[in-house]
């Protein structure tokens, strides 16, 4: 192979690598935003004081999942599926629940 051909191949590979790294960075940036949005969506899914608006746990999870899934750019929807978002929302709920239990435990000891 000529040095010119090798140089062209390396340039093409570096270009592809730059695109892949940019795409992965964008993916992780969006995923981080989804974790933050999940906490707000959980709060929004919980009714305020209206007992007639009471939803069961699965309905709250679906409502929060739908709200967060709507934030995903169309280009990433084939990669970040609804099940992934549902897992993110569930993980956020689990963290909130664990924190609330710690606070209740701490306050009951006082």
Whether 47 is covered by a domain: the verdict is: yes
Residue 48 forms part of a structural domain:
yes
Give domain status of residue 4, yes or no: no
The answer as to whether 9 is a domain residue is no
Residue 95 covered by a domain: yes
Taking residues 74-103, report their average pLDDT.
87
Confidence (pLDDT) at 50: 56
Residue-level pLDDT at 22: 93
| First CA to last CA distance, the chain | 78
Instruction: Report the candidate in 48, 40, 29, 47 with the shortest Cα–Cα distance to residue 89.
Output: 40
> What pLDDT digit, counting tens, does each position of 46-72 carry?
766 555 556 677 888 888 899 999 988
Higher pLDDT, 32 or 53: 32
Judge whether 96 lies within some domain: yes
3-state DSSP assignment of residue 46? coil
In a domain, 54, yes or no: yes
In this prediction, residues 76-81 reach a mean pLDDT of 86
Among 9-13, 75-79, 93-97, which range has the highest average pLDDT? 9-13
Binned at pLDDT 50, 70 and 90, residue 95 comes out as: confident
Identify whether 19 is part of a domain.
no
Q: Give how many domains the chain has, as a whole number.
A: 1
To the nearest whole number, what is the mean pLDDT of the chain?
Answer: 84
């Amino acid at each position: 192979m000529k040095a010119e051909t090798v140089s062209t191949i390396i340039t093409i590979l570096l270009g592809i690598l730059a695109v892949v790294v940019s795409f992965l960075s964008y993916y992780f940036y969006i995923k981080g935003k989804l974790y933050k949005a999940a906490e707000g969506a959980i709060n929004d899914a919980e009714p305020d004081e209206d007992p007639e608006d009471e939803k069961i746990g699965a309905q709250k999870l679906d409502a929060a999942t739908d709200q967060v899934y709507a934030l995903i750019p169309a280009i990433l929807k084939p990669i970040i599926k609804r099940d992934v978002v549902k897992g993110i929302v569930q993980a956020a709920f689990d963290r909130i629940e664990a924190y609330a239990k710690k606070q209740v435990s701490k306050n009951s000891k006082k």
